[in-house]
A = this chain, B = another copy of it.
């Protein structure tokens, strides 16, 4: 592995251009209008694995978008690493806030990325981070230093709940047998201070619909006399938090894992500047659950956020109407021990129960997933930490992330193996936002670090 630095140096132009080609395909899984592009992306990923030298690559049909599966077995007695990633991306809207088109990648320098960052939807989440594994694999093949077996499982529905993946994993446990699962779909503290995500939040995502009168009404003739579904929806949503910003759903906190004072003290050691945080978001103040600091609110505590709301007249000018219906998309981030299906049920029951008789309410669960915690004393974690330490010069700090990769808990349940979250992104990469980008430094550093994980994982597994 000693020539990996050199190999990345020699091929970096090609590595960047290959990723840019992949980013040009708008694989938005949430919107069926993009279906053709999602499938085209699966094809592109398949080809990239074949070109990298993977023995067996196939596109596996599922009830939804296909899963690209690759397999390179060199010796059944050696350990097997299963690499997971996703080739679908978030919707790009609001498009008008992008400084360059989301599917026309450009490299621009930023304060944090003086050597340039690739701007495009999916640059970091997850095409860029997924493709690092393809290129790291290419290196190990071309240089005859692949120390173990590898399997790739790249899905196309991560941004919409991975329902087909769950089906796929449950039906292919033999095929997917492995010793450790490796995923790069998270971030690290900074380009100077690597970190490994040891915890993820679970997720419950629902859509609610409040119906008042059977048709839109004139707000003058009916205003004040009938329930306005938008006003009612606002009242119902407002009531979901109490004055301490705790979530107001009976039973919601019953199973929440409470950290010890010592664990919280450990967390507090991670470098964090509230001033910079507020400046970066241009907010005068942070806002959240009483009794917890920002880094706890966004990681070890559950949340409830409205992700979208709509109803009535939203066009130009004024329309004096009382809408018949109002809608909202609501998601809850969950912490270890909270079961997402149970929480979804608690939410549904509660939300229906607080609706006044003057309206009808419908709650539709979208998707969800369980939270997850990785033990830092596992071989996988140790190997990853050693790899980071070698390429970054400092050991990685274990951190809890507020994000969710619902299938991680599923992998442990179905495949009985631990997942290592080797993320190379940064909070400032604006994933899920306009102007998502991924640092060229991070992309190349990832390609450089991954082979070292293989090396140390195999050594430590002996």
Contacts and interface: CB of A to CB of B under 8 A. Distances in A.
Interface of A: 29-32, 90-91, 93-94, 97, 159-161, 187, 201, 203, 205, 207, 212-228, 230-231, 233-235, 237-239, 241, 281-289, 294-295, 297-298, 301-323, 326-329, 331, 333, 356-360, 366-367, 401-404, 427, 430-435
Contact of A321 (B203, B301, B307, B401): B307
Contact of A289 (B207, B224, B312, B433): B224
17 contacts: A97-B216, A212-B281, A213-B282, A218-B432, A221-B401, A223-B331, A223-B402, A224-B333, A224-B402, A231-B241, A234-B235, A238-B238, A238-B239, A283-B358, A306-B311, A319-B432, A321-B433
Given A30-B317, A226-B287, A358-B286, A306 B231 contact: yes
Contacts of A327: 314
Contacts of A307: 219, 230, 312-313, 318-323
Oligomer: number of copies: 2
Given A313-B307, A402-B221, A402-B224, A319 B235 contact: no
A319 B90 contact: yes
A30 B316 contact: yes
Nearest to A301: B224
B310 A309 contact: yes
A203 B318 CA distance: 12
Contacts of A366: 317-318
Given A161-B318, A238-B239, A288 B432 contact: no
A318 B205 contact: yes
Nearest to A237: B234
Contacts of A93: 313, 315
Contacts of A90: 319, 321
A94 B237 CA distance: 24
A418 B418 CA distance: 82
Nearest to A201: B220
Contact of A305 (B203, B223, B430, B433): B223
Contacts of A360: 284
A166 B27 CA distance: 53
A310 B314 contact: yes
B220 A404 contact: yes
Contacts of A226: 281, 283, 286-288
B228 A297 contact: no
Contacts of A221: 187, 298, 401-403, 427, 431
Contact of A432 (B203, B233, B295, B320): B320
B321 A309 contact: no
A306 B227 CA distance: 11
Max chain B C-beta neighbours (<10 A), residue from A160, A205, A307: A307
A122 to B, nearest CB: 14
A307 B285 CA distance: 30
A213 B284 CA distance: 10
A241 B227 CA distance: 12
B287 A331 contact: no
